Structures are given as structure tokens and as C-alpha cells.
Structure 1
Amino acid sequence: MNTKDLFTRAIAGTIYIIVILIGLLGGRFWFMPIFAAILGFGLYEFYRMVEKNTTHAISKIFNIFSGVLIFFTAFLFLEKINLFAFPAAILAYLLALYMSAIIVNRYDILHAIIYSVFGQMYITLPLCLLMLLSYHFNLFDEKFHYVPGLAIFVFIWVNDTAAYFIGSLIGKHKFISRISPKKSVEGFIAGIVFTVIAGLIFAHLIPEYPTDFWVIFAFVVSIFGTLGDLFESLIKRTYDLKDAGTLIPGHGGILDRIDSVLIALPASYLFLMAYFELAIR
């Protein structure tokens, strides 16, 4: 990679990080539009990938609009502005898919429905969980707090960076090369170690949460973040693509940047739920 490409990659990566931080640190009214846009781009890239070899019967525009609408109505639900819109949006989406199975006369309509629902489960649902944990899991007297979401993204960034550099320097043993040939066992272990160190730093900076909380949280994000990265690599390999998109120069698309987060979020939600439940007892 030449100097110009490195510079472009660094600038694009910095802008991406700033946008994420604004969405997390700016409060819920910044979180909503920024992550709705991230969701929209992520869904676009996913549905464009699965349409690489054939045009599916259900429009990707419909799926993208539906995903963003579900995300927005989840926000209304959590804000207690409208408690009916969220389940109504999900029901309307599913009914539209069911009706398409009846009305559309194509042999591959079931495949299109499966792709449609999977895209929402893969991208929309985890980002809804990101919003949910920001409302529910914090030890601060606030309705919405950035700490859980910020921790997940920072842990992912530390894990990916450590795995990449340590793997490039000393990585000799391939880690699931069938899916991701560049990943190494050494990089995988380094990612876990440095992410746990980042957890210890969080324990020092935010002592409202105990040290064991941060260490376990960091470990969970590291493990499941790596799985998320591998899963998106599997999708791209299936469709013979290097990147999911080109929105972020030098980094690929939005989906390439949030792939680790998408699997780490459900795991983090379960960890937070279990930890806080045990803490209450």
C-alpha cells in the first residue's frame, strides 16, 4: 500500500470514528439519525451482495426502508412516544412478505423472502439491541447513556487493530483459512489480550462498573466480534467479493466496518442482562 493510499485510509477511518463517536456521545437524538443512516447503508450493501448473481423478487429499496422504519419505531417505543408503532411496523413488514409469496409469480420468491428476513435479523436487529442496551444497562441516573455502546465499539477497534498488526508481524498459524486466509491464531490471541487490557483501562476510567465486569465484557466482545468478522468474510467469499461496498475509501463499505459489532451486540446484551440480574440478587 503506497503513501497516498495509507493517507486516504487514515483520513477515511478517522472520519468514520468521529461519526460513530458523535452518534454515541451526542445523546439519543444524535444516535438515532446517525445509526439509522449506518443501518440504511449496511442493508443496502447486504442486499446488493445477495443480488449479485440474480435480481430477487423483493425490492432491496423496500427492505432498506422497512429496516430503517423498524429502527425508528423502536426508538419511539423506548422513548415511550408511541408503544404501538414498533410491533405494527414489524407486523406490516412480515405481512408484506407473506403477501408477496401469494401475489408474485416467481419460482424463487421463497429465496427472496429468506434473504429479506435474514438481512433484518443480521443488521437491523443488532442495531436495535445497541439502542436498547444504551437505554437499559447503565449505572448512571440517565435515560440514555453512551458507556455500553462506546465500550463495544472501542473493544472492537482494539481487537481488530491488535489482531491485524500482531498477526502481520508474527502470525504463522492460519486461523480458519478457508474463510479468512489472512487471519492468524497469533493475531486472534493478541486481539483478546489487548481488548482485555482495554477493559482494564475502562475499569480505571469508569469505576462505577467493577473491574470483573469490564474484563468479562471485553472478553465477550473480542470473541464474538471475531466471529462477526469471520461471518461477513464468509458472505463476501460466497459472492466472490473483496469488500461489501466502497463508501469508506481504503476500508470498504459500512458493513465491512460494523461486521464485528453485529454479532458482538447480541452477545453483549446477553452478558449485560445476566450480569445485572446477578448483581441485583
Structure 2
Amino acid sequence: MRFCMDWRSVSFDWNQVRAFLATVEEGSLSAASRALGQAQPTLGRQVSALEAALGVTLFDRVGKSLTLTPSGVDLLEHVREMGEAATRISLAATGHSQQIAGKVKISASDATAAYLLPRVLAELRNRAPDITVEIVTSNALSDLRRREADIAIRHIRPTEPDLVALKLPDTPAHLYAAPAYLARFGRPRTVSDLADAAFIGMDRVELMIEILHQHGLTLTPANFPLLSANTVTCWELVKQGLGIGIMSNWVAELSPEVERIDPPGFLPIPVPNWLTTHRELHTSRRIRLVFDLLAEMIGDKGALR
């Protein structure tokens, strides 16, 4: 059951309210103290004083981690309105427009970072030019709970209870080749035509062979003369005609110089995608803006609008 209180009947100390709001939006007491230019112990005392004044617990504290309680969530929507009203008054007095500023760290695979994020970031620059984005490029999972990133684009569903995730459209992976490769070796008409084809190997060949076998294609390690754990490198090798590549349609649709060559009997490989952030960080205005923009620019078929 959601805790509810008539907050309008409570007398607020604005410094305490501002400390609470900054802690939520920055994700931690240490980050909030830096944002407000206050000592962390002072900020912590202000949050504790607000809890005492209201007679409720606003944060669950586990070690150094802070998680909003239901009471904290209920209060947040009210004090955020107060904060926005105070900002509007200040901006009206100084003649400035409202801005959203600060750093957001996005974790994504090398292919996503190289081929997909630039279009999103171009739009972000238009909407919020004072947001600074740091891209954590890695094919490994970034640990959001350790603040290695604020937002992650993952291929697996997160299981951690303190993370929130949005399911993005799957991005089917197909077989692609450049015209130069097809001119030398011909276009495959059946899966058997691929028995002697050269493929560009991504990461572990044994895993690729297993996955491709599940989708109708039987290959051996001899089919992979070129290997790289870097997806961008693999894709460039495909574009230059050195072999057949397996790539999601997100990336391939941005590369008109390659052709889809799926023969009958080959089943596209579904690649799941999840947009993930920490539950506390999702309450930050700048992180929420970036999170929502990433979700907005993913079309129904997985291609960026």
C-alpha cells in the first residue's frame, strides 16, 4: 500500500527539502553534497532532520546505498514541484531559461556505441546542449550498481532488484556480405552453398558455430579465417569484402554497401535489447531525459528513427 500524507499541512525547512531533492536526483549523499557545495555530513543531517520533522523514513540505508521508501517516493513528486517552482522564480528574476546540465554515462557495446548512439546524441545536443555524455564502450556488462554507468544498453534482461529496465525491440541478426565478396564467390542460394564460405568470426568461434547451427547453418572452425572480439572491426572486414558477417539489422541498415544474403533455410537470430538504469538514478532529470530519448528513438522494427 502506498504511504500517503497531506504534505501541504507540514511546515518545511527549504534547506532540508533541497538536501532531500538533491540526494534523490544525484543518486547519493556524496554526489548531492558536491552539487550543492555543502559538506556531506551537513547534507546528511539535513535529510535526517527532514525525516524527523515528518515522522517518516525517506530512505532505506544499506551500507552506503540509499533507496527511496514509499514515503520518499510520495514526498518526491511534491517537493519536485516545489523545486521547479523555486527554479522558475529564480530564472524569472535573472532572465535565464531553464536548463538541464550535468554528466550522464552510457554503457553500450562497441557496435551500438559506434553506429547507433551518434544519431541519438546529435538529437540530445539539440534538446539539452548542457548535458555531457561519457560513453563506456564495452562488450562486457557494466555494473550499474557500482555506478560504472548511469544507463546501459544490454542484450540480456537485468535480474538485479534495484535496477529498472525497458524492453526494446529485438534486433534480428542476418547474414551480410559486400558486393566484392559476392563477385568472387557467388551469392548463396541454399545453406549448403555456405559450406565452404569464409565468415568473419566475432568473439568465440565455438559459440558462433553452435548458435548458427541452431538456426540452420552448419559450419566448422575452418569457415572462420578472420577473427576479432571487436564487433566494429569485424563489420569493417565484412564491408571490405573479406568474408560473410552476422550483424543485427540496426547496424546493417546504416551500411548500404553490404547486402543481406540469407538463403532459404537460414533463420534470423533474434537479439534482445534492454535499456537499463538504477532505480534511484531514474529519478534524476538529466538521466531520465537521456533514458527517454534513447527509448523514443528506437522504432518498431529496431531501427533508429
Greater strand content: 2
Structure with greater proportional helix content: 1
TM range (shorter): under 0.3
Larger radius of gyration: 2
- TM (norm. structure 2) is 0.25
Q: How high is the TM-score relative to the length of structure 1? A: 0.26
